[in-house]
Amino acid sequence: MTRYIFIESRDPFESRDTRFVGETAIAVKERGHEVTIFLVQNGVLAARKNAARLDHLTAAGVALLADDFSLRERGITPDELAAGIQPSAIETLVDAIVQTNTKAIWH
Amino acid sequence: MNERSLTMALMDPPYESANSTTALRIISAALAQGINVNVFAYEGAVCLPLKDQAPHANPVKGTTVEEEDHPTTKAFVSSLLAIGKDKLKWVNCGLCVDERGATNVVDGVKRGSPADFFKMAGESTNTLVIPTK
């Protein structure tokens, strides 16, 4: 099993290709790998429950983390996050990507 | 491989994208965790440590340089090199430097080539490429 960390920096309302990241994450998960998507920068805009963009990912078992700094910059509070999405420090991302057998993909 | 190490390729020029801020945050957090970090600055990212960067006043608001207190990427890179000491290696792509005339960089930044990136990536626990949009 390989760990995949997708780092999504793009706003889904601006970049249609964020959908490709979600589809890839699910496809990799279905093949038995551990998958995390770390939302950062404008990527955290998708994390709001009102946006309702990522429910299919949590349902598929993909772990979703949202950079706490990016959330604060955009005035998004933890209670505004969709179910299953956790605020996370950048240190968590760093720790995750320096593990062996881990692939880190920035988008 | 006992010591954890991370190689990063950066491509965005300073003051253009939030990618630069996030990259600097990742480097800072990695160094704080005792992780060795190699940075290969490619394309516009070779300007991140440019010594010629200068903070400026804001004549529209009537504020001084001190009041504005603008951060510069050269100061961030310089600080990270001072904090990281031998745990942070920063290599600017030489061809990208020559194209941009970006030779006047802060102390500690080395000149190299994509071959250095290949070598650093091969020796690291993992590699993160942060491309331009």
Closest to B73 (Cα-Cα) out of B31, B121, B128, B18: B18
What is the pLDDT at residue A52? Answer: 87
- Say how many Å lie between the first and final Cα of chain A, rounded: 22
Residue appearing with tokens 């805009």: A45
Out of A9, A90, A103, the one facing B29 most closely (by C-beta) is A90
Q: Residue A75 corresponds to which amino acid? A: G
Q: Which residues contact B62 (CB under 8 A, 6 or more apart)?
A: none
pLDDT tens-place string over residues B95-127: 999 999 999 999 999 999 999 999 999 999 999
**Domain holding B110: CATH number?**
3.40.1260.10
CA distance A30 to chain B (A): 24
Say if residue A47 is exposed, middle or buried (CB neighbours under 10 Å; 0-12, 13-18, 19+): buried
Residue A101 vs residues A3, A84, B118: alpha-carbon distances, Å: 6, 25, 18
- A33 in contact with B, Cβ within 8 Å: no
Provide the 10 A C-beta neighbour count for residue B95.
Answer: 14
What is the pLDDT at residue B2? Answer: 65
What is the pLDDT at residue B133? Answer: 77
Q: What confidence tier does A29 reach under pLDDT thresholds 50, 70, 90?
A: very high
- What domain range is B57 assigned to? 5-130
pTM of the model: 0.95
Q: Alpha-carbon Rg of chain A, whole angstroms? A: 13
Structural domains in chain A plus CATH codes:
3-106 (3.40.1260.10)
What is the pLDDT at residue B122? Answer: 97
Residues of chain A found within 8 Å of residue B127, distances taken between Cβ atoms: 104
- A92 in contact with B, Cβ within 8 Å: no
> What's the rounded Cα separation, in Å, for the pair A86 and A71?
11
Is the per-residue pLDDT at A44 higher than 90? yes
Structural domains counted in chain B: 1
- A27 in contact with B, Cβ within 8 Å: no
Say whether the ipTM exceeds 0.90: yes
Residue A27 vs residues A9, A66, B50: alpha-carbon distances, Å: 20, 21, 42
What is the pLDDT at residue B106? Answer: 98
Mean pLDDT, 10 residues at a time, chain B of 133 residues: 89 97 98 98 98 95 95 97 97 98 98 98 97 88
Is the per-residue pLDDT at A70 higher than 90? yes
Residues of chain B found within 8 Å of residue A7, distances taken between Cβ atoms: 128
